Structure 1
């Protein structure tokens, strides 16, 4: 199964924005929606082509409400996500799975309570209305075992793979990271 993860912008509740609009709600109606990361919507599709087609169907909403659209295709990598553009390039055979590993964004993962305000209260405004969502982050997410809920993706670090290894994430002190492979043009943007 190919997985899709849509990560909402900081100032919106992505799940609410998608499900409150008829066209997006209809496009997502057949999927079991999850929340792999804070303020995200995750789902499984039958193939890479179906994942890219769904993202194309949701494009109007993604441009307005999402910061990131990632695809996890197990035939390309068991642990790393693909950007939307890279997933489309792999689907179209414009980029081979082996060529898709050079440029990456590495996100830190923080517990939801790591961004509590000065009074010690957690800022859960990004999750208003998203209760009842299952948490399942899939590859590299560390989500699912945490009873506090999904972790949030923080501050991406752009890296170039020069072998089998990726440089360590050093922008924040985090225990886990999520790797997203991106196209050369996304890397340089």
Structure 2
């Protein structure tokens, strides 16, 4: 299961996290991999991913635009808020009929776009993630 962290435009997230002693300490057992616009971190469970995100909270607020957690059962990514809601409250049951669906697209220029399902991707998109989120996160 992957945790995807997408940096804000102009931020080299891998270098930023590598240069910080605190984030290096937090990530020491995870071995993040550099992506075009961020990093990926392999985690074993949703709970371990959420725990890691809690540790990285300051870096998320300052340097990251999107954080996604892979849902291997449904073949999509979950927004951080949906993953937390589903895990913490257990009041949400994820199913293929999930209604709040969108895509997170990263362009060649490093811009991050949220596109509703069915809207074509603009030219220059280098990476796109199918995402389920909470209703208030829909673009």
- Alpha-carbon spacing, 1:73–1:32, altered in 2? closer, same or farther (3 Å): same
Note the residue ranges of structure 2 that are not aligned, 5 or more in a row.
none
Matches within 5 A, 1:16-165: 16-36=15-35, 38-75=36-73, 77-78=74-75, 80-92=76-88, 93-98=90-95, 101-108=98-105, 110=107, 112=108, 115=109, 154-157=112-115, 159=116
Count of paired positions: 137
Taking only aligned residues, the RMSD between alpha carbons, in angstroms, comes to 2.4
- Quote the Cα distance in structure 1 between the aligned partners of 2:67 and 2:104: 14
Aligned residue for 1:101, secondary structure, equals coil
Residue 136 of structure 2: aligned partner = 185
Does the Cα contact within 8 Å between 1:48 and 1:87 map onto a contact in 2?
Answer: yes
Moved more, 20-29 or 172-181: 172-181
Q: Deviations over 1:100-127 (max 9, x none)?
A: 82112313455x4xx5xxxxxxxxxxxx
Does the Cα contact within 8 Å between 1:100 and 1:181 map onto a contact in 2?
Answer: no
Larger radius of gyration: 1
